[in-house]
Amino acid sequence: MSKTDYRCDKCGTPLYLDAGGKSATCPACGNKEIYIQDLRENEDKVFPVQVSKDITEYIAKGEAYLEMKEFSSAFESFAKAINIDPNDYRGWWGTCRCRILDNYLCEDNGYSRDFKKVQFLAPSMIKYELETKYETYLSVLNKKKEEKENEIEKAKKIALGEFISVKEYKGPKKSFKGDILIISLIFALCPLVVLLGVFYVERYLTFSIIFGLMLLTGGVFLTLRLKDLMKMVSLIEKGEVDSVSQLMNVMKKKNKQDFLKIVREMIISGHLVGFEIKDGEHFQKNSEEEVDK
């Protein structure tokens, strides 16, 4: 079977003839005997076509429906052709394409089985052409499957709070000097609180010691946290990491959801200028010109 440039002279629907060009049917009009306009040679030339009662009628319908992306109707026509003549490869080739193109789950719903029939029944002179087309159809299906898997993975990340896209902060850059000053004041207050309890308010000595230890503990915690933040900013700005996962590995962190919140705060607060998070994973650095603007 070969596709030709014929259209119904009544409604303009694409028509498909068999190899000899002796039969056709119009799936839109439903006419059994129609005139076909030959668009390849002369637009004014028409000739009558007698519709045969073999599978060509169903193949023609299937091809027309397939072009209009009416996959259910196309599959039904090809299936009828197979019922009449299961040894004709054209019916199997039609159902194979329908299964691939109308495949929401992107799984093997029987198209590979149908194509094995095509390989077995098709004339040797066109097998290579059919195999090439089959591989093209499969590549499109695999791409669709990959996109679907990415959508599912994205939905899971959104549900877990791991999909956060943060726009870049364009400046001015905020330093850690204020944080360092606060931590220094906390450490300075620790001995003062204890000394105050020892020399001036003896009855509150125990309280002073406890409060001083609390300040010391808080100061140590803030120091370690600030050290981590400064290291993270340095790693990102120097380009030593390009994704949140890489940064987590370097910082030895496990909870991505909490870690993303920390990185997000760094960008929003202005400690990280000119960077944004794409798809909850990758860091993207904008040019200096874009940041200045």
Q: Which pairing describes strands 14-15 and 46-50: parallel, antiparallel, or unpaired?
A: unpaired
Q: How many domains does the chain have?
A: 2
| Rounded Cα gap, residues 46 and 37, in angstroms | 5
If asked whether residues 149 and 92 sit together in one domain, one would say yes
**Residue 211: inside a domain, yes or no?**
yes
The closest of 180, 192, 156, 291 to 237, measured between CA atoms, is 291
Query: How confident is the model at residue 59, as a pLDDT?
Result: 93
> CA–CA distance from 103 to each of 88, 97, 120, 138, 140 (Å)?
24, 10, 24, 11, 11
**Residue 271: inside a domain, yes or no?**
yes
List phi, psi (to 5°) of 115: -70, -30
Question: Which token pair is 231?
Answer: 């290291």
| Rounded Cα gap, residues 52 and 85, in angstroms | 14
**Is the distance from CB of 197 to CB of 208 less than 8 angstroms?**
yes
For 19, the enclosing helix (H) or strand (E) is none
Helix axes 71-84, 56-67, angle to 10 degrees: 160
**Is the distance from CB of 65 to CB of 78 less than 8 angstroms?**
no
If asked whether residues 44 and 134 sit together in one domain, one would say yes
Query: How confident is the model at residue 1, as a pLDDT?
Result: 35
**Residue 88: inside a domain, yes or no?**
yes
Between CA 194 and CA 203, with CA 199 as vertex, the angle to 5 degrees is 80
pTM: 0.43
If asked whether residues 151 and 204 sit together in one domain, one would say no
Amino acid letter for position 78: F
Query: How confident is the model at residue 70, as a pLDDT?
Result: 93
Question: Which token pair is 63?
Answer: 């091809």
Question: CA torsion 102→108→109→112, rounded to 10°?
Answer: 100
**Residue 142: inside a domain, yes or no?**
yes
Query: What residues contact residue 47 under an 8 Å CB cut-off, 6+ apart?
Result: 35, 36, 38
Query: How confident is the model at residue 69, as a pLDDT?
Result: 92
| Rounded Cα gap, residues 239 and 167, in angstroms | 18
**Is the distance from CB of 271 to CB of 233 less than 8 angstroms?**
yes
Question: Which token pair is 148?
Answer: 């679907």
Query: How confident is the model at residue 291, as a pLDDT?
Result: 41
Query: How confident is the model at residue 35, as a pLDDT?
Result: 44
**Is the distance from CB of 228 to CB of 220 less than 8 angstroms?**
no
If asked whether residues 59 and 149 sit together in one domain, one would say yes
What does each of the 293 residues of the chain score in pLDDT, given as a tens digit?
334 445 665 666 655 554 444 455 555 565 544 444 444 444 444 444 444 447 888 999 999 999 999 999 999 999 989 988 889 999 999 999 999 999 888 889 999 999 999 999 999 999 999 999 999 999 999 998 888 887 777 666 555 555 455 555 565 677 788 888 888 888 888 777 777 766 666 666 777 778 778 888 888 888 888 888 888 888 888 888 887 788 888 888 877 777 777 777 777 777 777 777 776 677 777 654 444 44
**Residue 259: inside a domain, yes or no?**
yes
**Residue 96: inside a domain, yes or no?**
yes
Instruction: Choose one of 100, 121, 156: the last residue of a domain.
Output: 156
Q: Which domain holds residue 138?
A: 6-156
> Would you call 224 helix, strand, or coil by DSSP?
helix
> Would you call 281 helix, strand, or coil by DSSP?
coil
Query: How confident is the model at residue 202, as a pLDDT?
Result: 60
